Structure 1
Amino acid sequence: MTMRRAGGAALGFVGGSVLAGLMVGVGVTPMIAVAGVSTTSAIGMFESLPEHIEIGDLPQRNQVWAYRGGEPVHLANVWAQDRQELSFDQISDQLKHAAVDGEDKRFYETGGVDATSMVRSLVSVAASQGEGGSGGSTLTMQLVRNIKIQRASELPTLEEQRAGYKEATKRSPQRKLAEMKLAIGLAKKYTKEQILTAYLNIAYFGDQTYGVQSAAQHYYGKSATDLTPAEAASLIAIVQWPERRDLSTPDHYRDNAARRNVILRSMHEQGHLTTDEYRTARLSRLADSVRITAPQQGCEAVETGAEFFCDYAKRVAARLPQLGATKQQRADAWRTGGYRIQTTLDLDLNAKQKELLDRYDPKTETRLALGATLNTVEAGTGRVLTMAQNTDYDRSEQAPPTATSLNYAVDQADGDSTGFQTGSTYKMFTLLAWLEAGRSPDTVVNGTPHPQSTWTACGEQTTAFWQPKNDSPGQKGPYSVRSATAQSVNAAYQSMAAQLDLCDIRDVAKRLGVHLAAGGELPWNPASLLGTESIAPLTMAAAYAGVANGGRYCAPVVIDQVTAPDGTELGGQPRTCSQAVSPQTAATAFEVMQGAFRGGTASGGQTPDGTTLFGKTGTADAADQVWLVGGSSRAVTAYWQGNTDGGKHNLRYYSNGQGGTYAGSRAAVWRDAQTAVNAALPVG
């Protein structure tokens, strides 16, 4: 939170030297000596302590949003700490009175330290040798301690966090003195309103809840603006001993009510409650007001089917340049939070695709480790509209077989999956290189399986024996490139590649954003022409969307807008678009690849709306990975199914429980998914 400097020292400040003198005059220093600190060193230690501490910005929730019915809707809250900051005016007077009357009656009279109370506290702590003692900390001193605790929680390692917390909370005269001097510094720099607001926003209220707003929502299901006197007093009662007084369990109600009633009595004595209000609040039962509301924390809490997209978007958001110029600045900004992230996710389309996967690629399959995804990318923008997966989302080490944290749609760096062999969906890049070389789609090539040893790669002759089989024994003889594409004839594409430079094919793929899911250089060897390398489904969807967009490739984006904590719109994920192939080449390829849906390998995939579609099927050698990638000129959908554990179970031979096999149903599943996409993004 940004705090303005107080407009001058308030009356009643206790200066450092005055306080040091007071320490001697009231006989505190001899008592400190009991703890091993001499009179002289006690005064000297106080004078040498730092006197400045900043309130700073507190961690808040980052909000992730999606779309439903074309309108923005809240999807998830992502935070390091469950906190929402409020301004002074947004906090109810009941809470302010409960905090001041219950914790520091002289808050508005002192300059950060109440000398009388502190003398009593220092004597008590010293006499107990740091093992106990009475309180005496003002609200300002408690704020100092909470700031130190907060800073400890932001240290990079768990060990450092624990050490920092221990240092911030240990009972010792030295810590009390340090808090006193820093509290005096805070009281000089900030107004009382600012200090009280900061205290109520930073305080820990148990059950992983920070600040009065999150506490009010968590324990009462309401805003901190609307609390009754009893509810306000119960929240403040938690602060001193959250382990025994938070409202997360009825076992704590007795201890909470006892402290609450003390605070209510103080509020009455200070004139902030009438006798009737005090009596009513004191007689109220916690069980009647507590309404535990579970915080919607993280991507695990979003609606079914959106978890994997949420996780991916969260990772992307944390590295956006809008959050800072350096990696550390971005990490700090994301941890501090308060950002609103409007993603590209269409919850309606995603839910439809999740429903299809649950039906046709069930997570309960036990004969093989079955994975499946549907991903839709908008042509012309790269906006990722869906990211549905057949498994549940679970990041725990005890995740059941039906769940995983691996996001099959994206690269290893963003989802821990290493991609999958793309099969003949990779043939599109050979077709594009063929057309770029000025060759006709009606040229006839040899479709009979045959050996090939001589190739051109990067302008030089190279030798590599390759004799791929066709998918069907009946595929032989001459084929036009058009027909070979529709029927996915491997040997015909081998013949085409032999007339091209293998590096040109690779480079076309690279210009369309294709890369290995696990990283590394995209190869140019002959076998790669049939999709032997592992690539993420989202990568393939975006590449095909580039062809649908007249050859202009746009890298996938998942964030439309970032709004800063202060409400400033910072823009969305930077869009990177480039002309990968000429519009003419893309248009010809788009036309040729319509054959897959017109008697080709994607027969049955044509949507009932009659939209012109292009695309390509793909099947790995063992049919352990099966694909269909394609769409309209508006949007492309990639459908992948496969073994996720390296197994070679042939998906042509496994029933999906819906009257067909996994491989045999791909066109129907893709058709139903794309039909909904076409309705949302109609052509023309």
Structure 2
Amino acid sequence: MQTNDKIRRKRRRPPWGAILIVCFLVLMGSSVGVVLGAIRSLPTWDPNKLMGSETSIIFDDQGRQVTRLHAAENRINVALKDIPPHLINAVIATEDQDFYKHHGVNLKRIAGAMMVNLVRHSKAQGASTITQQLARVSFLYPEKTYERKIKEILLAFQLESKYSKDEILEFYLNKVYFGSGAYGVQAAAQTYFGKNVQDLNLSESAMLAGVIQSPGRLSPFTNYDLAKKRQQVVLNNMVHCGYISQEEADKAYDQPLSFKKSLSSDSRYGYFVDSVIEEADQILRGYYENPQYAIYNEGLRIYTTMDSEVQKHAEDVYADSSFFPSGKSKKGQEVQSAMVLLDHHTGEIKAIIGGRKYEQRRGFNRAIDSLRHPGSAFKPVVVYGPALEQGYMPFYVLDDSPVTFPTPSGPWSPQNYDGKYRGLITMRTAVQWSVNVYAVKLSELVGIKNGIDFAEKLGITSLVRAGQKNDMGLSTALGGLTKGVSPLELTAAYGCFANNGVYVKPHTIIKITTAEGHVIYTHRPQYRRVMKPTTAWLMTSMLQTVVQAGTGTRAQIPGVPCAGKTGTSQDLQNAWFVGYTPNYTCGVWMGYDQLERMYNVAGGTYPARIWKSVMTKALEGEPRQAFVTPKGIVSVQVCNKSGLLPSQLCPDKCIISDYATEDNIPDKICDRHVLYNICPDSGKLATEHCPFPVPKAFVNVPADSRDPDKPPTEYCDIHSSAPTSSEMVPICKDPRHGNKLYRANIPGPNETGGCPSSVVVEEALPKGVDPPPCPLPDHQVQAR
């Protein structure tokens, strides 16, 4: 493009009639003082600003500059004659159909916009022409005020009086922002399609013209579906204006688009910077009409939460192939991963990685944009957290044995990841070894709706409650979700456990100022208690067991208390490790972009190693802290087969120490253990012919239980055979049994106790019928 001094100017007399009409309309909606103030503070006319911009700077959490954002760094000016007519027509048809007819201001559109604003009591409608847009982005701060609109109109008239329509259009097309750091049509063509602007076809031109309205929201890199809808609007506008036929529009819409995939500039801190820009875009919508323009042109100073040393270390980890499985998948994919590290006390994100390679500015960030099935990493959020909140303690016992649940799609039998069943186990053991059957059974007791409610309190926003697919089934307990969760949200949810039960929304920006230091925005964290402190601490205690002696041992950091949970989805397509120390919470996801099974990859392998490396770096120089025990937590001794106070029958190996809240201390004695006489020679139930039977405690469980301590079912075949149908069998018929038959606990010759003789009778039972032992606690004690 030519310099300003050499630009051909087609001067025209100012349209004073139009100016008077516009001023009258403006005065109808604004005070005289506002208008006069706008005129007095009108910026000095500087033609150089039609092409210039001011650098914005991003700082880390120590106030050190980490990157600069400047429109001119990605702008290549081109002459209007080198821009394809279909791109010019697409922009005019969409942004200002009367561009060649008006004198800088569209009176009809302004009147309509004023009426809408008055009705809505807002400033939503701008009605800006291309000339007004050029005036705004060149000379004004784009805040939404009536004074700015007045200045914009006056400057638009100046532009129209100094430059021809083609010159204004050339300025505009070289200055307007297209997202992803691209300013002007040439930079946009190269950024999105990897080609020069003159080589764009109609489909590509319509896509770029559609992005102008909202570059952050309509970028095909971040929201392709929305960008395609906008492209269709542009093509329809071109048909309406007579630039193309409907057939040409339909053909352009259906034409596949091939986007550029790589960057030519430095990608250091790329994923974090992208996250900052996205957050800044949301924040500045309340201050600027075009926040993207402000970010890249207004010289803003953006102070962030990033620990640049940890971010750099994380990027180095992701560049190291030893942290990932070697080779590619059967479909030729490279395994991908994402990571988030945050300070759970403040919600500050300290480091974020959206993929193994940073490939595109403002592109796909797997840490934020990707929703993947969390597998067992979801259990603390949707099962164990709400269970603890309801009063189920870490020593609550359920039977880890095969079970089938009826579901709308048919019977469902959850399976444990290792194919093993452990019988009667506590909640702590189930968390430690990621036992699926226990989690599903507990979820049924807690109520899946209560679990979903709890997860949403912890900041999970992607759950589906209705429709053909929903997350209200028991499979939700195992992370089987309709959409999945993002690494950022799941990490923040675990941060609630680390933060004493208080949720803090994650953020990347601390403060934004103007180039002169005027503070535009200061982050004010909002704290929300989502669970009792005791619930958070008990969960932390169980998650520490996972790292100390469970599925997450590879995440151990010497001298540092670590709590965490592994997660591997049932289809082996996603692997997670999410955990925390007293200082920070970190989540790591691993999988393929296009769903495909991984081999030899689980949450406790590569994801745990990445977690350990990043967390170790984050803790350098940090004071060593401990998880503080809140009031109301007590230590208790219980039987791990019942979760109750030990009885005299409970073997020493079953008596454990654990924690409970003061209002959930067990007050009942274990009734799970019963005595059986065992023949020491055969190891089976003793008969009357066994010379030296030995009483031994077993757990009273259903016959189909997989508990290793359930009693044997066969009688000694060394000293005698099992009772026949002609034998009289001692039966306990205590009235408390009702009419049921139970085997009497008859003492041997050197024993005392058993069922009282007053309730023991002899009955002839059919061959093979073996009534269960007497279940009454007082009889069991006597039989000891």
TM-score (ref. length: structure 1): 0.55
Name the CA distance, whole Å, in 2 between partners of 1:440 and 1:545: 21
* Aligned match of 1:669: 610
| Aligned pair partner of 1:450 in 385, 396, 403 | 403
Residues 190-235 of structure 1 show CA distances to partners (whole Å, capped at 9, x for unaligned) of 9xxxxxxxxxxx999999689xxxxxxxxxxxxxxxxxxxxxxxxx
Q: CA deviation at 1:449?
A: 2.9
* Aligned match of 1:306: 269
Name the CA distance, whole Å, in 1 between partners of 2:445 and 2:464: 30
- What is the identity, as a one-letter code, of the residue corresponding to 2:69? N
* Aligned match of 2:357: 392
Name the CA distance, whole Å, in 1 between partners of 2:63 and 2:463: 33
- What is the identity, as a one-letter code, of the residue corresponding to 1:613? C
* Aligned match of 1:578: 528
Matched, 1:344 2:296: no
Residues 14-43 of structure 1 show CA distances to partners (whole Å, capped at 9, x for unaligned) of xxxxxxxxxxxxxxxxxx9xxxxxxxxx99
Are the counterparts in 2 of residues 422 and 627 from structure 1 also a CA contact under 8 Å? yes
Matched, 1:620 2:569: yes
Matched, 1:380 2:345: yes
| Aligned pair partner of 1:316 in 279, 283, 296 | 279
Are the counterparts in 2 of residues 651 and 663 from structure 1 also a CA contact under 8 Å? no
* Aligned match of 2:599: 651
- What is the identity, as a one-letter code, of the residue corresponding to 1:383? E
Name the CA distance, whole Å, in 2 between partners of 1:207 and 1:595: 61
Are the counterparts in 1 of residues 546 and 565 from structure 2 also a CA contact under 8 Å? yes
Matched, 1:427 2:384: no
Residues 317-350 of structure 1 show CA distances to partners (whole Å, capped at 9, x for unaligned) of 1121x55268x46567557633221121222111
Name the CA distance, whole Å, in 2 between partners of 1:311 and 1:364: 29
Are the counterparts in 2 of residues 555 and 576 from structure 1 also a CA contact under 8 Å? yes
Matched, 1:436 2:386: no
Name the CA distance, whole Å, in 2 between partners of 1:432 and 1:652: 29
1:285-300 correspondence to structure 2 within 5 Å: none
Are the counterparts in 1 of residues 576 and 603 from structure 2 also a CA contact under 8 Å? no
* Aligned match of 1:602: 552
Alignment CA distance shift 1:162-1:306 (3 Å): farther
- Which of the two has greater helix per residue? 1
* Aligned match of 2:433: 487
1:143-542 correspondence to structure 2 within 5 Å: 157=91, 159=93, 303-320=266-283, 323-324=285-286, 328=289, 330=291, 333-334=294-295, 337-359=298-320, 360-361=323-324, 365=328, 367-395=332-360, 405-411=363-369, 417=370, 419-429=371-381, 430-453=383-406, 465-516=411-462, 523-533=471-481, 534-542=484-492
> Could you tell me the percent identity over the aligned residues?
20
Alignment CA distance shift 1:323-1:390 (3 Å): closer
| Aligned pair partner of 1:631 in 577, 580, 587 | 580
Name the CA distance, whole Å, in 1 between partners of 2:536 and 2:603: 31
Q: Which runs of 5+ in 2 are unaligned?
A: 1-10, 24-38, 44-48, 76-86, 105-130, 136-149, 156-167, 177-261, 626-784
Name the CA distance, whole Å, in 2 between partners of 1:339 and 1:573: 16
Q: Secondary structure at the match of 1:562?
A: strand
TM-score (ref. length: structure 2): 0.48
* Aligned match of 1:557: 507
Name the CA distance, whole Å, in 2 between partners of 1:553 and 1:539: 11
Q: Secondary structure at the match of 1:570?
A: strand
Name the CA distance, whole Å, in 2 between partners of 1:638 and 1:209: 40
- What is the identity, as a one-letter code, of the residue corresponding to 1:666? P
- What is the identity, as a one-letter code, of the residue corresponding to 1:503? K
Residues 168-209 of structure 1 show CA distances to partners (whole Å, capped at 9, x for unaligned) of 999xxxxxxx9xxx9xx99xx99xxxxxxxxxxx99999968
Alignment CA distance shift 1:524-1:574 (3 Å): farther
Are the counterparts in 1 of residues 376 and 566 from structure 2 also a CA contact under 8 Å? yes
Q: Secondary structure at the match of 1:544?
A: helix
Q: CA deviation at 1:304?
A: 3.3
* Aligned match of 1:24: none
- What is the identity, as a one-letter code, of the residue corresponding to 2:438? A
Name whichever of 565-574 and 532-541 sits farther off.
565-574
Name the CA distance, whole Å, in 1 between partners of 2:357 and 2:97: 37
Name whichever of 56-65 and 533-542 sits farther off.
56-65
* Aligned match of 1:264: none
Q: Which runs of 5+ in 1 are unaligned?
A: 1-31, 33-41, 84-152, 171-177, 191-201, 211-298, 397-403, 412-416, 455-461, 654-660
Name the CA distance, whole Å, in 2 between partners of 1:374 and 1:519: 27
Residues 560-591 of structure 1 show CA distances to partners (whole Å, capped at 9, x for unaligned) of 11112442113334533200111111011111
Are the counterparts in 1 of residues 92 and 99 from structure 2 also a CA contact under 8 Å? no
Name the CA distance, whole Å, in 1 between partners of 2:411 and 2:577: 29
Alignment CA distance shift 1:435-1:168 (3 Å): same
Q: Secondary structure at the match of 1:535?
A: coil
Equivalenced residue count is 430
Name the CA distance, whole Å, in 2 between partners of 1:559 and 1:160: 34
Name the CA distance, whole Å, in 1 between partners of 2:466 and 2:406: 26
Q: Secondary structure at the match of 1:497?
A: helix
Give the structure, 1 or 2, with the largest relative contact order (CA under 8 Å, sep 6 or more).
1
Residues 246-282 of structure 1 show CA distances to partners (whole Å, capped at 9, x for unaligned) of xxxxxxxxxxxxxxxxxxxxxxxxxxxxxxxxxxxxx
* Aligned match of 1:63: 56
Name the CA distance, whole Å, in 2 between partners of 1:301 and 1:316: 24
Name the CA distance, whole Å, in 1 between partners of 2:579 and 2:411: 32
Name whichever of 50-59 and 588-597 sits farther off.
50-59
Are the counterparts in 1 of residues 562 and 579 from structure 2 also a CA contact under 8 Å? yes
* Aligned match of 1:174: none
Q: CA deviation at 1:438?
A: 1.0
Q: Secondary structure at the match of 2:549?
A: coil
Are the counterparts in 2 of residues 61 and 81 from structure 1 also a CA contact under 8 Å? no
- What is the identity, as a one-letter code, of the residue corresponding to 1:67? D
Name the CA distance, whole Å, in 1 between partners of 2:367 and 2:269: 13
